[in-house]
């Protein structure tokens, strides 16, 4: 029976109350926070859609594993559980736990990159971009053309532009390309999936030119579910079979386990078979993250991650998970709200320049919409547009995003259909009153990853 909303495949036995505040109070909160969503106190947020990272609800099995976790410094049991899971799920020989995704980047990227090198991607996430730049290398994003047209539907808007990839390798010289990185799903263009065909072709190009191929695996399970439901030839395969094939084309992965592995904290570097690379990774892990078998995590974190890795690739869980995002996306689409369409796995990405038509890109329409959603409904999302792009590291010019996205993430196993219906109503209200909201200017910023701590001022009255 087709269902408009795929029911939660769980029942709830512990609840966390949320508090609705007044509009007046929220305006004060915004002023105190310098209009920065990261600076709001989470207690003042009604529906928190800032991220799907580390915000998922743990299962009873994860809590049980945490209670019996091994907290030894050397050789703790959790390490071997993670290693076994990586060998089993991805078919990779080596695994190095670290404390989160950006720790993978900090440890792995200097093994492949350095001054004078380039890293090419379907799109680097902000921290990923930051860690490329911090090695002295330069990041090149080559998202496919379809990703730049929010209202034109395409099944795999997360793909890399293969023609540009090969042309860029030839232009810069293969010996200067330190890695090709595929972000699956592609967060920066709307949580959009990458097709198996695109992964396979990228793997072939990497092999042809002898360039290491790395997967940014934060949302690899959602990506596999999209392949199952959208790509010809995969409908009868299980998510686990699809995951194995996805990773067979790459040499290594960098995974924030806070997303599809449903951990509150954790990351994993996976290396398929390159012994030299894992040796370098281990060398960098000990001084930066801690001893190899705990990698900056408590035994409890590792235990929850080892269980979450399996819960996150369950076909029924993914049908509900991706179904929830699709439900909200379709509802907004029917309301005529401009957004990256069809929606991806982890979030709704509103096309803020199309909603806030009066705000030019350099006055950050996605930030303006994020502020409006918090003001009117206590909903916290965030800018994945020009504000979240750092300035060009060489020219220091403000970079312009292809699309000014306001991202509203769905935490895993946290909110229900009623919450999503409320969110849709608040978005509609803000879109209908768009002309009332001003743009923003930056008053304080840092050179790298500025959006986390930026301070802003409205360029008009927030009524």
Residue 259: active-site member: yes
Q: Taking the complex as a whole, how short is the minimal distance between the CB of residue 128 and ligand F0G, in angstroms?
A: 5
**Pair 414, 264: CB distance under 8 Å:** no
* Catalytic residue chosen out of the listed positions 106, 131, 284, 451: 451
Q: Taking the complex as a whole, how short is the minimal distance between the CB of residue 258 and ligand F0G, in angstroms?
A: 5
* Catalytic residue chosen out of the listed positions 99, 258, 259, 333: 259
Residue 161: active-site member: no
* Catalytic residue chosen out of the listed positions 44, 126, 260, 301: 126
Q: Taking the complex as a whole, how short is the minimal distance between the CB of residue 212 and ligand F0G, in angstroms?
A: 17
Nearer Cβ to ligand F0G, position 337 or 411? 411
Nearer Cβ to ligand F0G, position 100 or 352? 100
Contact set with ligand F0G (CB under 6 A)? 51, 53, 100-102, 125, 127-128, 183, 187, 216, 218, 256, 258, 267
Residue 218: active-site member: yes
Nearer Cβ to ligand F0G, position 132 or 318? 132
User: Which residue, judged by CB position, is nearest to ligand F0G in the bound state?
Assistant: 101
Q: Taking the complex as a whole, how short is the minimal distance between the CB of residue 82 and ligand F0G, in angstroms?
A: 15
Nearer Cβ to ligand F0G, position 62 or 127? 127
**Pair 160, 101: CB distance under 8 Å:** no
Residue 216: active-site member: yes
**Pair 50, 382: CB distance under 8 Å:** yes
Produce one character per residue of 354-371: b if its CB has 16 or more CB atoms within 10 Å, e if not. Answer: bbbeebebebbbbbbbbb
Q: Taking the complex as a whole, how short is the minimal distance between the CB of residue 198 and ligand F0G, in angstroms?
A: 16
Kindly give the pairing relationship between strand 177-183 and strand 118-121. parallel
**Pair 154, 176: CB distance under 8 Å:** no
Q: Answer left, alpha or beta for residue 413, where phi above 0 means left and psi between -120 and 50 means alpha.
A: left
Residue 123: active-site member: no
Beta-sheet strands, E only, within 103-163: 118-121, 138-141
Nearer Cβ to ligand F0G, position 181 or 242? 181
* Catalytic residue chosen out of the listed positions 119, 217, 218, 304: 218
Q: Taking the complex as a whole, how short is the minimal distance between the CB of residue 52 and ligand F0G, in angstroms?
A: 7
* Catalytic residue chosen out of the listed positions 44, 48, 216, 251: 216
Distance CA(4)–CA(186), nearest Å, equals: 25
Distance of CA 162 to the CA centre of its chain: 22
* Catalytic residue chosen out of the listed positions 79, 109, 125, 405: 125
Residue 294: active-site member: no
Exposed, middle or buried, 45 (CB in 10 Å: 0-12/13-18/19+)? buried
Nearer Cβ to ligand F0G, position 113 or 359? 113
Distance CA(97)–CA(302), nearest Å, equals: 8
Produce one character per residue of 107-142: b if its CB has 16 or more CB atoms within 10 Å, e if not. Answer: bbbbbbbeeebbbbbbbbbbbbbbbbbbbebbbbbb
**Pair 347, 52: CB distance under 8 Å:** yes
Distance CA(427)–CA(334), nearest Å, equals: 13
* Catalytic residue chosen out of the listed positions 61, 73, 392, 455: 73
Q: Taking the complex as a whole, how short is the minimal distance between the CB of residue 107 and ligand F0G, in angstroms?
A: 12
Tokens of 402: 């292809």
Residue 415: active-site member: no
Nearer Cβ to ligand F0G, position 127 or 192? 127
Q: Going by C-beta distance under 8 Å and a sequence separation of 6 or more, which residues neighbour residue 395?
A: none
**Pair 200, 109: CB distance under 8 Å:** no
Active site (catalytic) residues:
73, 125-126, 216, 218, 259, 451
């Amino acid at each position: 029976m087709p269902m408009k909303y795929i029911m939660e495949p769980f029942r709830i036995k512990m609840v966390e109350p949320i508090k609705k505040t007044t509009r007046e109070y929220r305006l004060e909160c915004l002023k105190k926070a310098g209009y920065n969503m990261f600076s709001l106190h989470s207690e003042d947020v009604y529906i928190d859609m800032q991220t799907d990272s580390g915000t998922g609800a743990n299962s009873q099995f994860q809590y049980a594993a945490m209670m019996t976790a091994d907290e030894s410094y050397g050789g703790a049991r959790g390490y071997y559980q993670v290693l076994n899971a990586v060998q089993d799920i991805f078919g990779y020989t080596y695994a190095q736990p670290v404390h989160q995704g950006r720790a993978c980047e900090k440890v792995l990227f200097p093994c492949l990159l350095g001054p004078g090198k380039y890293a090419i991607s379907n799109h680097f996430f902000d921290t990923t971009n930051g860690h490329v730049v911090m090695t002295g290398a330069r990041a090149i994003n080559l998202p496919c053309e379809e990703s730049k047209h929010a209202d034109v539907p395409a099944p795999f808007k997360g793909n890399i532009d293969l023609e540009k990839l090969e042309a860029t390798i030839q232009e810069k010289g293969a010996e200067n390309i330190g890695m090709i990185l595929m972000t699956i799903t592609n967060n920066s263009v709307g949580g959009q999936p990458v097709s198996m065909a695109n992964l396979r072709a990228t793997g072939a190009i990497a092999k042809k030119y002898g360039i290491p191929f790395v997967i940014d695996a934060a949302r690899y399970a959602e990506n596999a579910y999209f392949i199952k439901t959208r790509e010809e030839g995969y409908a009868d395969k299980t998510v686990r079979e699809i995951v194995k094939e996805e990773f067979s084309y790459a040499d290594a992965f960098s995974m924030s386990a806070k997303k599809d592995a449903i951990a509150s904290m954790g990351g994993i570097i996976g290396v398929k078979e390159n012994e030299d690379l894992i040796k370098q990774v281990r060398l960098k892990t000990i001084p930066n993250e801690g001893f190899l078998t705990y990698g900056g995590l408590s035994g409890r974190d590792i235990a929850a991650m080892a269980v979450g890795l399996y819960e996150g690739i369950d076909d029924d869980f993914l049908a509900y998970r991706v179904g929830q995002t699709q439900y909200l996306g379709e509802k907004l689409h029917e309301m005529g709200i401009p957004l990256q369409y069809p929606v991806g796995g982890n979030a709704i990405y509103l096309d803020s320049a199309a909603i806030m038509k009066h705000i030019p890109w350099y006055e950050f329409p996605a930030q303006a919409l994020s502020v409006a959603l918090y003001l009117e409904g206590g909903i916290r999302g965030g800018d994945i547009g020009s504000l979240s792009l750092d300035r060009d590291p060489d020219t220091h010019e403000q970079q312009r995003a292809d699309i000014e996205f306001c991202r509203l993430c769905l935490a895993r196993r946290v909110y229900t259909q009623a919450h999503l219906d409320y969110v849709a109503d608040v978005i509609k209200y803000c879109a209908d009153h768009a002309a009332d909201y001003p743009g923003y200017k930056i008053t304080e910023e840092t050179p790298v990853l500025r959006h986390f701590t930026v301070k802003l001022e409205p360029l008009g009255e927030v009524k």
